[in-house]
Structure 1
Amino acid sequence: MVSAPLPPSARARRTALAAAAVSVVLWASAFVSIRSAGSAYSPGALALGRLLAASLTLGCLLLVRREGLPPRAARPGIALSGLLWFGAYMVALNWGEREVDAGTAALVVNIGPVLIVLLGARFLGEAAPPRLVAGMAVSFAGAVAVGLSVSGGGRAPVLGVGLCLLAAAGYAGGVVAQKPALRHASALQVTGYGCLTGTVACLPFAGALVEEAGRAPLSATLNMVYLGVFPTALAFTTWAYALARTPAGRMGATTYAVPALVVLMSWPVLGEVPGALTLAGGALCLAGVAVSRSGPRTRTA
């Protein structure tokens, strides 16, 4: 017996979910690669090298697909997302991961979805019901627990957590700025020109990149190129594709799968396992998302 084909709306939702899953897996691997490449490259140089590799990849794709400049209506959102997400986010995250382990960084950065919901309600008109507010409170408590678990009474880990929170703010602002731009431009245009904006913003680190590339081991440089091609060029494009078809708040919540994947990846690769309080804080973050995404039960006839 042949099953009926899915309606176009259901196919679009599944395609968007698959695109988001690609982004989540690649972004999880990025936390591990940043820790590896960060031993040889400073935060700004690593961000610039990653963005240069991504811009070259995306530029080739734009030429092959013959996609020109984005419409004027999309340019403000592209520029803002490029500065916040491709620029500030990457530098802050690279710096933060020099102070805390990859799993902890992923857990702290994932306060970003809560910020996305807040900003989405303010600037995109997306709903913020009471359950969402309660979920944000639980997730914030989880972020505090993660911060306390790695502070150890010293300043450096506290600085790392603060930088990861700054990265989360850049990530959230970039997503919300990107959403309206996707109404006017393609996912590839929004990603490609946003990445180019971030690259230009990071050009002051060019001297450090050239100097450090001369003495960096090949493995660190290959990790930097991997970060540019896959977790940036590919993952940001699949994210933009899914974001164009999904509310920003719902998309942000999908990234709460990242910390668990990071822990699984960093354990064998980096030998890093977050402590019990870190895992408990991560569980609170996930519990907050579950509360925020739950809805009132409805009766069926």
Structure 2
Amino acid sequence: MNTKAFSIALLTVLIWGSSFAAIRVGLKGGYSAGHLILIRYLIASLLFAVYALLPGVKFRLPRKEDLLKILILGWIGISIYHIGVTFGERTVSAGTAGMLIGSGPIFTSLLAMFVLKERLGKWGWIGLIIGFVGIFIITLGSSGDSFKISKEAFFILVAAFATSVMFVYQKSLYSRYTSMELTAYFTWAGTLPFFIFFPGIFHDIQHATLEASFSAIYIGIFPTAIGYVTWAIALAAGKASSVSSMLYLEPIVAIVVAWFWIHEWPNTISIIGGIIAISGVVVVNLKGRERAAVSENTPSSTI
């Protein structure tokens, strides 16, 4: 990986990793989960609309035959994902949420076997087993000392699975659209269901803390919009597989940022589970696949 690709990919991972703490700040500062999601995606949708209308930007509209697929993938990969993550973080710590989402490629690999007919070798199966053991331990640790899978941890697991579905099924669209175009389409499609949270939004805006409002603006601009732009630049500047390996750092960034910003640290059980889960992801992606990775040109996690 050259210096430019490494630097931009690292910046992207730092931006995406910081979003988990920012969500917690927004939730603790007076925003409901639904209102936080809606504000975030109204900002991102507006930014992508401005980009699409800029003079000199060649931004194509989706083909009619692709509209339904784009809508469904946007609802799954954006709407369900962000509802799962944001509602999950009402009780699950930012670092724990980051580790659960960071293990998402385990679901992607499993789906790729059935949908894209990718084959996993012996090490691939070992990696999957290790990954799912780690995920199970993280979810147990997320409930503190109660050793049960909490409802909020389940929400985040659903989010990880939802984004994996989008990564697998969007692959065919990359032969017809650029990553920026697809990201904009998915953002606009995924924003539509969030309008069910509109009632009462102005009350939250008026009564939320200043830090919470800045956090809502931050996640709308940086992780949701700018992060995808810098990621596309990094992928264009370097080898996709090498750039994608930087995503292994995202759960670590989530933990460290949460520690410095909101003084929050996952419990020991969750950290152990996170180490095991990410180890499984590494084994699958580096040693387990007999064909090219599913998300070679797309992020293996999203924020």
Listed as ranges, the matches of 1:211-290 within 5 Å are 211-239=203-231, 246=240, 254-290=246-282
Listed as ranges, the matches of 1:16-165 within 5 Å are 20-39=9-28, 40-64=30-54, 65-72=57-64, 74-152=66-144, 158-165=150-157
Mapped to 2, the partners of 1:122 and 1:246 lie a distance apart of: 23
| TM-score, with structure 2 as normaliser | 0.83
How big is the shift at 1:121? Answer: 2.8
Mapped to 1, the partners of 2:248 and 2:171 lie a distance apart of: 19
How many residues align? The count is 283
How big is the shift at 1:16? Answer: 6.6
Distance change >3 Å, CA 246–CA 110, structure 1 → 2:
same
Aligned partner of 2:133: which letter?
Answer: A
Gaps of 5+ in 1: 1-9, 297-301
Distance change >3 Å, CA 243–CA 71, structure 1 → 2:
farther
Contact 2:103 2:278 in 1 (8 A): no
Aligned partner of 1:149: which letter?
Answer: G
Contact 1:62 1:188 in 2 (8 A): no
Higher mean C-alpha deviation, range 212-221 or range 185-194: 212-221
How big is the shift at 1:184? Answer: 0.7
Higher Cα radius of gyration: 1
Distance change >3 Å, CA 15–CA 137, structure 1 → 2:
farther
Contact 1:31 1:102 in 2 (8 A): yes
Aligned to 1:4: none
Distance change >3 Å, CA 46–CA 124, structure 1 → 2:
same
Contact 1:106 1:259 in 2 (8 A): yes
Aligned to 1:189: 181
Mapped to 2, the partners of 1:232 and 1:293 lie a distance apart of: 25
Contact 1:87 1:202 in 2 (8 A): yes
Aligned to 2:165: 173
Distance change >3 Å, CA 149–CA 295, structure 1 → 2:
closer
Mapped to 2, the partners of 1:115 and 1:269 lie a distance apart of: 30
Mapped to 2, the partners of 1:182 and 1:66 lie a distance apart of: 16
How big is the shift at 1:18? Answer: 5.8
Which deviations, in whole Å up to 9, do the C-alpha atoms of 1:74-119 show, x marking residues without a partner? Answer: 4344323311122111111111111111001111222311111122
| TM-score, with structure 1 as normaliser | 0.84
Contact 2:124 2:287 in 1 (8 A): no
Aligned residues: CA RMSD:
2.7
Aligned partner of 1:257: which letter?
Answer: L
How high is the sequence identity, in percent, across the aligned residues?
28
Mapped to 2, the partners of 1:98 and 1:132 lie a distance apart of: 34
Aligned partner of 1:121: which letter?
Answer: M
Which deviations, in whole Å up to 9, do the C-alpha atoms of 1:119-173 show, x marking residues without a partner? Answer: 2233234332221111011011111111222323559971121111011111111
Aligned partner of 1:53: which letter?
Answer: I
Mapped to 2, the partners of 1:240 and 1:177 lie a distance apart of: 19
Mapped to 1, the partners of 2:7 and 2:65 lie a distance apart of: 28
How big is the shift at 1:254? Answer: 4.7
How big is the shift at 1:23? Answer: 3.3
How big is the shift at 1:21? Answer: 3.8
Mapped to 1, the partners of 2:177 and 2:194 lie a distance apart of: 24
Mapped to 2, the partners of 1:143 and 1:243 lie a distance apart of: 28
